[in-house]
Structure 1
Amino acid sequence: MKIEIWSDVMCPFCYIGKNNFEQALEKLPFKDQVEVEWKSFQLDPTLDPAETKNTMTYFKEKKGFPDAQANQMMSQVTQMGKNAGIDFNFETALITNTFAAHKLLHLSKKYNKSNEMEEALFIAHFIDGKNVGDVDTLVAIADSLGIDKEEARQAVISEEFNQEVNEDIQQARNNGITGVPFFVLNGKYAVSGAQPVETFENALQQTYKETVSPFQDLSNGENACGPDGCSI
């Protein structure tokens, strides 16, 4: 069963959704039959990759939130994060263009480390306050996962993975995806947003039952023929 997840590195709900999804998956007996593919999405492609802003400044400028509303929103997301096992550090998180980070994510697929890369990028951005638009920072993250530093550097500074990132973004548009996280379950069902563990668990079970598990025979098996003969 394949799960496609559209996500952006600087989306806190994507990190929460990832944790809740993984907690749900761990509970299921068919977890080893699930393939997860991370897809690129940019919440704000207009950001300058050479600049960074702190989270509060960005929300006030982008959304026009007054200080009180921005603080309230940060508090609510912080609590949601704690419930999902994440200690967000919005005071140090740096908002920037994430296109380069997505190129590194696509490189990591070559080594079957995309899930580890997604987690590492979330930690770098939300916990460690690192600039995930910075080339040296991204190369160091790749190195920590055992990916060759020079290969990572070329992936980030060249146009090698531009097409893959843009194809993910275009596919999201074609599917009417306007927000993330967005989970597509075996090409049949969708779950949007950082849903609770129970929602993911139920959705995964339903998808598996309807698209992967063997047919449920509603008859008594009579009046049919097989290798051993016919039954009446």
Structure 2
Amino acid sequence: MKIEIWSDVMCPFCYIGKHNFEKALQNLSFEDKVDVEWKSFQLDPSLKPSEIQDTLSYFKDKKGFPENRSVQMINHVTQLGKQAGIDFDFENALITNTFSAHQLLHLSKIYHLSSETEEALFKAHFVDGENIADIGFLISLAEKLGIDGEEAKQVLTSDRFHEEVKQDISEATNNEITGVPFFVLDGKYAVSGAQPVEVFENALQQAYKETVTMKDLSDDDSNSCDTDECKI
């Protein structure tokens, strides 16, 4: 069974959704029969790689949110993160362009390390306060994961995988995917947002049984991010 997941590295709900989805998958007997493919999505492609902001400033200055609402959103996501086993550090998280990170994610597929790379990038951004647009950092991260450093450098300093990243984003647009995380389960079900573990379990079980045609299993699209805002 194939699972496609559209995600952006700077989306906190994508990080939470990844943890909840993986916990659900571990609870099921057919875990080894599931093939997960991570798809690229950019919440803010207008950001330049050299442009860096802290989270609160980004919400206030770039998105135009009042400070009290921005603080409320950050506190809400922090609490959801704790429930999923994630210690978000929004005070030190650096908002920047994620295109290069997506190039690395596409390279990681060749090494069968896409989930590990996705996890490492989330942690680097949300927990360790690293600049995930910095080419030197991404090369170092790739090497730690077991990806050849020279190949990573070649990818990150060229247009290799540019089309693959753009194709993922175009596919999301064509499928009317406007927010992430967005999970497509074996072409039969769509689950949007960082849903609870039990929702993922039910969706995976139904998709595996192939009992119905594709539909949205969650009417609630909260706990997700789109290009305008994060929904809580």
The alignment's TM-score, normalised by the length of structure 2, stands at 0.90
2:198 maps to 198
2:2 maps to 2
Report matched runs for 1:1-232 at 5 Å: 1-210=1-210
The letter for the 1-side match of 2:125 is: H
CA distance in 1, matches of 2:117, 2:167: 19
Return the offset for 1:66.
Answer: 1.7
Structure 1 gap segments, 5+ residues each? 212-232
CA distance in 2, matches of 1:146, 1:208: 32
Return the offset for 1:61.
Answer: 1.4
CA distance in 2, matches of 1:210, 1:148: 39
Return the offset for 1:124.
Answer: 0.5
The alignment's TM-score, normalised by the length of structure 1, stands at 0.90
CA distance in 2, matches of 1:54, 1:154: 29
4+ long deviations beyond 2 Å: none
Return the offset for 1:68.
Answer: 1.3
Aligned residues: 212
CA distance in 2, matches of 1:58, 1:99: 18
What SS does structure 2 have at the residue aligned with 1:101? helix
CA RMSD of the aligned region, Å? 1.1
What SS does structure 2 have at the residue aligned with 1:32? helix
Return the offset for 1:62.
Answer: 2.3
Structure 2 gap segments, 5+ residues each? 212-232
2:221 maps to none
Rg larger in structure: 1
